[in-house]
Amino acid sequence: MKADLIIKNAKQLVTSQGASRKPKIKEELGQIEVITDGVLAVVGDSIVAVGTTSEVLQQLDITPETKVIDATGKVVLPGLVDPHTHLVFAGSRENEWDLKLKGVPYLDILAQGGGILSTVRATRAASLEELVQTGLKYADQMLAQGTTTAEAKSGYGLTTEDEIKTLEAIREINQRHPLDLVPTFLGAHAVPLEYKGEPEKFVDLVIEEMLPEVAAKNLAEFCDVFCEQGVFSVEQSRRILKAAKEQGFKLKIHADEIVPLGGAELAAELEAVSADHLLVISDEGIRQMAEKQVMAVLLPGTTFYLREDHYAPARKMIEQGVPVALATDFNPGSCPNNSLQIIMTIACLYLKMTPAEVINAMTINAAHAIGRAKEIGSLEPGKKADIVVFDAPTYQYLPYRFGSNLAEKIIKNGQLVIGGED
Ligand code: IZC
Ligand code: ZN
């Protein structure tokens, strides 16, 4: 068999295979498929063979054009998938650290017109090209740390024009950058100041003007709502998400992060693809998400950064059969981190997930959370060749060694896009 690219002698080739139809749940989440002394072959943008170097290498036709990567002593993983980011925004919010460090809560800063609303002011003032440029810079950082596909939300425009501008920036970044982006419309991220005291009117605007325009321009696959006390109620979230579903969007929801409102139950009722955060999810919410197989996208980097006193009940969700994925939540306020490698450590230490569970939750299960599990998320013949070679002897080393970027070579769509110098 002819190959364009071969990775050979991998100390551990972690395939995350066998779950392209349904996410891994319960004990399966902790099962990871590791080939020792692994080899992987790529033709064009697809994986064509995976196995042990001794068995598979002899079946491969290596020509002078074949790119051969020797992964002796290294771990090879599917490209990481980040299923929850607020990638496109202008400015930053380090000026809020004084308040934050004095203990002023996140929702109080927002209620005072700061927080998300401060990023909204900066994003409205930015041009499309400025948003593209900052987004490309963040995309570079993510790719360099091993993320090859990410979801990206709008939500800092909050006018029809500025939400469209943001979604166009996401489309543009997706076209210009190797990182693949899956776009989500989050027009209901906050009630903008011009609608203060009239949230229902803003909800009408989202439903009657923004959603149809985003749908007509085909700018988003998912619709999301920030369902939270003082932001959007369960009833308002239901109205928006129902309308979005009728217009063909798949659904996500920021649910039960700070105040337990019942966002998880709403996600189950509407058969959302995912409910995200879930620090204060109820037992009934867990039961209903497991029953409907709504993915829980957990964002422990945010819990860490907000200094919340407890994390999402990951162990309980896993035991009860909720499919779990992990993401960064990269955004300028509650989690200005876009490295999934750091999330690996936080997820092990504070969600008490094992390294194997964490890797499945950032590869195949994360691909399910954005509707891409047929194409990405595991190393199997037929899947897209999105691969990371880590400078690590075992996969457990990844969460253990936090703070350094261990991603050494990144292959995206069959192309060696980072680490090809030698
Ligand atoms: O900019 O604070 N939680 N949305 C919901 C965010 C955090 C992003 C932000
Ligand atoms: Zn978020």
Burial call 387-407: b when 16+ CB within 10 Å, e when fewer: bbbbbbeebbebbeebeeebb
Q: Which ligand is nearest to the CA of 232?
A: 1
**What average pLDDT does the segment 332-350 reach?**
98
Ligand 2 centroid to Cα of residue 34, in Å, is 32
Calpha distance 276→222 (Å, rounded): 13
160-193 tens-digit pLDDT: 999 999 999 999 999 999 999 999 999 999 999 9
Res. 92 pLDDT band, cuts 50 70 90: very high
Q: Which of 298, 308, 417 is nearest to 369 (CA)?
A: 298
100-109, 211-220, 294-303, 354-363: segment of lowest average pLDDT:
100-109
Ligand 1 centroid to Cα of residue 86, in Å, is 8
334 lines ligand 1 (CB under 6 A): yes
83 lines ligand 1 (CB under 6 A): no
Ligand 2 centroid to Cα of residue 400, in Å, is 26
**What average pLDDT does the segment 89-97 reach?**
96
Helix (H, G, I), strand (E, B) or coil at 94: helix
- Assess whether pLDDT exceeds 90 at residue 17: no
Calpha distance 74→95 (Å, rounded): 41
Ligand 1 centroid to Cα of residue 314, in Å, is 21
134-143 tens-digit pLDDT: 999 999 999 9
Res. 422 pLDDT band, cuts 50 70 90: low
**What average pLDDT does the segment 242-256 reach?**
98
Ligand 1 centroid to Cα of residue 85, in Å, is 10
Give the single-character DSSP code of 227: B
123 lines ligand 1 (CB under 6 A): no
- Assess whether pLDDT exceeds 80 at residue 421: no
333 lines ligand 1 (CB under 6 A): yes
Ligand 1 centroid to Cα of residue 236, in Å, is 18
296-334 tens-digit pLDDT: 999 999 999 999 999 999 999 999 999 999 999 999 999
pLDDT > 70 fraction of the chain, expressed in percent and rounded: 100
**What average pLDDT does the segment 81-88 reach?**
98
Atom of ligand 1 nearest to the CA of 93: 1
Give the single-character DSSP code of 59: G
Report the pLDDT value the prediction gives residue 50, as an integer from 0 to 100.
Answer: 96
Question: Strand locations in 31-162, DSSP E?
Answer: 34-43, 46-52, 67-70, 75-78, 80-82, 147-153
**What average pLDDT does the segment 206-222 reach?**
98
Report the pLDDT value the prediction gives residue 251, as an integer from 0 to 100.
Answer: 99
Q: Which of 153, 298, 308, 334 to mutate to test the pocket of ligand 1 (most atoms within 8 A of CB)?
A: 334
Of residues 265 and 309, more confidently modeled: 265
Report the pLDDT value the prediction gives residue 202, as an integer from 0 to 100.
Answer: 98
Atom of ligand 1 nearest to the CA of 189: 4
Q: Which of 331, 337, 338 to mutate to test the pocket of ligand 1 (most atoms within 8 A of CB)?
A: 331
- Assess whether pLDDT exceeds 70 at residue 39: yes
- Assess whether pLDDT exceeds 90 at residue 1: no
Measure the CA angle with vertex 88, ends 87 and 91; round to 5°.
110
Ligand 2 centroid to Cα of residue 246, in Å, is 23
226-248 tens-digit pLDDT: 999 999 999 999 999 999 999 99
Report the pLDDT value the prediction gives residue 227, as an integer from 0 to 100.
Answer: 98
Atom of ligand 1 nearest to the CA of 106: 2
**What average pLDDT does the segment 239-265 reach?**
98
pLDDT > 90 fraction of the chain, expressed in percent and rounded: 96
Report the pLDDT value the prediction gives residue 18, as an integer from 0 to 100.
Answer: 82
Question: CB–CB of 261/233 below 8 Å?
Answer: yes
Report the pLDDT value the prediction gives residue 155, as an integer from 0 to 100.
Answer: 98
Cα-based distances in Å from 96 to 106, 112, 114: 10, 12, 8
55-69, 175-189, 275-289, 315-329: segment of lowest average pLDDT:
55-69
Calpha distance 109→100 (Å, rounded): 8
Question: CB–CB of 340/80 below 8 Å?
Answer: yes
Atom of ligand 1 nearest to the CA of 110: 2
Report the pLDDT value the prediction gives residue 19, as an integer from 0 to 100.
Answer: 84
119 lines ligand 1 (CB under 6 A): yes
211 exposed, middle or buried (CB, 10 Å; 0-12, 13-18, 19+)? buried
